[in-house]
Chains A and B, each alone.
Chain A
């Protein structure tokens, strides 16, 4: 039974935002090197899709692709999706407790207040255009609140579409699916592949990154839409019987079976 393809796309978000391009800022990795994917770990990944057909010509194996985006220098995608909210709440609770303790102690120093102010952190708002992230505090890669614009953690890149020759020629049928998976925010892109037309077919991935900009004395997450390319290599081979090498035959039983 054929395995499903996993294709990890790792983005250097900081560099991509600076250059406003994904050229040189993506790293593609799939699990099909054993069957002939080339360029694994680079920007030039060609994912092998080994199709099979029965002797009557019908497609024998369904090939499924799954894309998993990840960002360099971010909080790892493997933490639960409510991690950021939890961290934020825990931080607020600690701050409030310390504030209460300061009040009861009587004398409040400036230094104490400054420290707590830092702890409260900064909050980045949604951009006015509507598309983007929900309002949240800025957290650094360790999940702590930060006020430093250089230390924050980039939100994970979001795949917004998959287009290009492989799609327009109906080689693959990509779609976004919802799932109870906690790692990729409950949404992931997957596709099934028509393996009946061998060849190399490029496709374009549309990605939304988020940049923190200062706007009217506020920090705002602004979306930046970019694209990058990869390709599929479709091959197709006939299925054959494992015992005969051709069609159906009699099972190769011994004249005397082993004792046991």
Chain B
């Protein structure tokens, strides 16, 4: 068993911002788990983990001068809440940044402000230990939110990847 598993989040920031989605090939997840992860290279990656392992997420941008950082990783809970009633469904695949993850276990809210008062998500390290009380055989899906530059349309997320204990 490996002590540590890396999940690399490769992002085409320009593609994602102009498509307003991390789908369409704008995001690719790959891990180095040796236990048989599924859907490598897609947004639907299921990473096979073992309790006690450290899982680390790292963003990589395909254009080196585009800013891509992980803003939040939230594991989605089965006790799902309803989406807000006033939420309208747009005709195109916009992923609004303001909608909270349904009944997510919070991973958000950690302060990412630098000493000059500017938000800088490069300051956050996304890693954690796989707990021993994780139920085997059930995928734990998570929402990963990416910050691409700044502004009202700068945060995009996907809900499809998961961790799976075998």
Once A34-B67, A239-B125, A260-B141 are accepted as A-B contacts, the answer to whether A253 and B120 lie under 8 Å apart by CB is: no
> Which single residue of chain A is at the shortest CB-CB distance from B147?
A34
B83 contacts A by Cβ under 8 Å: no
Contact B75 A34 (CB under 8 A): no
| Nearest neighbor of B69 in chain A, beta-carbon distance | A1
Judge whether B128 and A252 touch: CB under 8 Å. yes
**Residue of B107, B120, B126, B140 with most chain A CB atoms under a 10 A cut-off:** B120
Cβ of A225 under 8 Å from chain B:
no
- Select the stretch in A72-80, A174-182, A210-218, A243-251 that faces chain B: A243-251
Residue B22 at the chain A interface, CB threshold 8 Å: no
Indicate if the CB atoms of A253 and B75 lie closer than 8 Å. Answer: yes
Interface size class of B (residues with CB under 8 A): 35 or more
Contact with A along B53-83 (1 / 0, CB 8 A): 0110011110011111110110111111000
> Which one, B54, B135, B138, contacts A248 given CB within 8 A?
B54
- Which B residues lie within 8 Å of A6 (CB)? 65
Complex interface: chain A residues within 8 A of B102 (CB): 258
Question: Chain A nearest CB: distance from B117 CB in Å?
Answer: 8
Residues of A within 8 A of B78 (CB): 254, 256-259
CB-contacts of A1-57 with B (<8 A): 1-6, 31, 34-36, 48, 50, 52
B35 sits at the interface (CB 8 A): no
- By a CB distance below 8 angstroms, the chain B residues around A237 are 114-115, 120, 123
B116 interface contact, C-beta 8 A:
yes
With A243-B126, A243-B127 known, 17 other A-B pairs at CB within 8 A are: A35-B120, A233-B116, A235-B116, A237-B115, A248-B128, A249-B129, A250-B129, A250-B131, A251-B128, A253-B105, A253-B131, A253-B140, A254-B75, A254-B77, A254-B105, A257-B76, A258-B103
